[in-house]
Amino acid sequence: MAQTSTTDLTAPEVPPIAIGNGGEWHQSATADQPTLTTNQGLPIADNQNSLRANPKGPTLLEDFILREKITHFDHERIPERIVHARGTGAHGFFELTHSLANYTIAKVLTEVGVQTPLFTRISTVAGGSGSADTPRDVRGFAVKFYTKEGNWDLVGNNIPVFFIQDAIKFPDLIHAVKMEPDRGFPQAATAHDTFWDFISLTPEAMHMVMWIMSDRTLPRSLRMIEGFGVHSFRLINANGESTFVKFHWRPKLGLQSMLWDEAVKIAGADADFHRRDLFEAISAGDFPEWDFAVQLFTQAQADTFPFDHLDATKLIPEELVPLQVIGRMMLNRWPDNFFAETEQVAFCPSHVVPGIDFSNDPLLQGRLFSYLDTQLSRLGSANFHQIPVNAPQCPFANHQRDGHMQMAQPTGRVAYEPNTLAADSPHEQPALGFHSAEVGETGAKGRIRAESFADHYSQARQFYLSQSAYEQAHLASALVFELSKVEHPHIRVAMVGHLRHINENLAIRVASGLGIKELPPAPLVAMAVQDLELSPALQLIGKMKATLEGRAVAILIADGSDAASIVAVKKAVTAAGAKVKMVAAKIGNAILADGSVLPVDSQLAGTPSVLFDAVAVILSEEAATLLGKEAAAIDFVRDAFGHLKAIAVDKGGAALLKLAGTQQDAGVIAIDILGSFVTAAKTRQWGREAGVRGLA
């Protein structure tokens, strides 16, 4: 059935879009458009694909266009990171529990029980170092293992896929998502024209769009996110045989997200919410922990997948290749100096150890060049590896000399290899050293994407349909919010067209939320959209743990509150693993009904309920009447209810809820039924959501 858009939503004339091999999109230039060139004036024929040995082969070093573009991009900011500027990190260790000796010679993956020191940095992507912790954004998840054989950097995200298939598009992606250059805003946000304009012209990004619009990009805590290596890597065993691997981190506390309204309010109440949470957990000895898991598969298995695993916009569902847990990571020490360690730590995907190698993923191939180049710019010297947080914790030696900030003092006359003049000179080790996988490459080199990369919508559809009804509603509402901030109607219309390939009902929901009366036509596709098997493992709500471990509960009190009730609530939630804070209108002490004095942890006006996972309201009726005239108290209980949190109340607490216009439901529990409150506090009251907010 033909679909047309309404006349008032007709997009301005744009150059025609042509679909090339592999499904990449090329925008044809019109006569009045300037030619895209290199900085030397060379006209560029293809700005979408790196030069590869063959359509599925490795990226070639001779690609001077790729190197110029990424080198310039890497050097755009000094000294702040261009992306992942806002981050926090901690020291810890990795312990292997199951050997992969059949697959790799890497000691860190074969020596069971050995604790390998590491440093982990978790970050937002789009915002600057002074932005808030809680925007809707991807989180970087980078781990530096200080192994016996050198440093191994596993540099990933909390999302298993990415926006683009080829590294040559990374500068364009980040330029689109960053603050618009003519106005310097918005900060740390995708809800603006340049981002969605780029996305609307980049169908390969549609799977990632589903992830970033989901609750995955609103984590409750950095201790409650997954980590993914994103790309396929190779493991190489003692016989030189290679096996593909994808790496996963799974939090012991389970997944937990915020609601959008909650994340916005937390950004105002505590811009350092995630950083503070991690610091306080480690300081209290509640060390964050993750399971380390792998997906292992052969080329023969990969050939049967309904997608190409070398495409970074695709994931391998757990139902297709199950995860094997092989170890654990614990973060147990905060940096002594934030700048010296967290800011100066330098991660590079090219930092591997013998037994770990790379795949031909074209996004990974570009990252192998880009990260090292970025560190040279940001840290100002090729000797950045001598900074303590970056230095290997095993012996290392070579003939590299001098340079800015050289801290070592090599001796002797020899600075080359081979030589006969220094018996103690470092030399190559053919038997023990790093060997690349022996993979044959044939074909005609060219700027062409593999045909197997052409399916841009099937996994996006799979992801959306695998979500719970609540998560689907959140995702649709996020799209409406983001696209409502876009000034140009044709971009909004184009995005709704893409959504039709993912799910017709999703497109209808978003179009309705944007006031689009008729659905626009879906764009042409290079490969038919597939209906893949649903993957419940892609849910977030479905993977949440019903627990209070790692969570926080507030008890709102005042003079005259019942001491016995406070003690009972605190005892019950503490026993369940939560931290408890006493909140009152004034900092200092509260004089309870029995005359005892209770220290107050936080002042009400500066400690809204958005900072907690559940609340208890224990007040005398007189105090409830007084607090009913206080906006911060009304917001405290109203937000707790609106954010679907369990609320325990005594008689005065119930009176405050009534004054706030907050209704009673199964998640509002009398203080004398503490077992029910603790159970309810372990999760959100999802059934309440339809009654408190309209979702797309």
Among 132, 49, 73, 103, smallest CA distance to 445 is for 49
Distance CA 296, CA 249 (A): 15
Distance CA 51, CA 46 (A): 10
At 327, phi and psi to the nearest 5?
Answer: -175, -170
Active-site pick, 157, 158, 390, 503: 157
β-partners of residue 581 are 554
Distance CA 247, CA 233 (A): 8
The H or E element containing residue 144 is strand 139-147
Among 398, 450, 453, 405, smallest CA distance to 426 is for 398
Distance CA 357, CA 242 (A): 9
Active-site pick, 84, 192, 309, 498: 84
Cβ atoms of residues 87 and 122 within 8 Å: yes
Please name the residues in contact with 244: beta carbons below 8 A apart, sequence gap of 6 or more. 232, 233, 234, 235, 296, 297, 298, 299, 302, 309, 359
Distance CA 535, CA 651 (A): 46
Distance CA 289, CA 286 (A): 9
- Exposed, middle or buried: residue 420 (CB in 10 Å: 0-12, 13-18, 19+)? exposed
Please name the residues in contact with 544: beta carbons below 8 A apart, sequence gap of 6 or more. 254, 255, 256, 683
Q: Is 84 a catalytic residue?
A: yes
β-partners of residue 124 are 139
Distance CA 169, CA 372 (A): 18
Find the angle CA(33)-CA(35)-CA(38) to the nearest 5 degrees.
Answer: 150
Q: Locate all alpha helices (DSSP H) within 315-361, ordered by sequence.
A: 338
Q: Is 72 a catalytic residue?
A: no
Catalytic residues, by residue number, are 84, 157
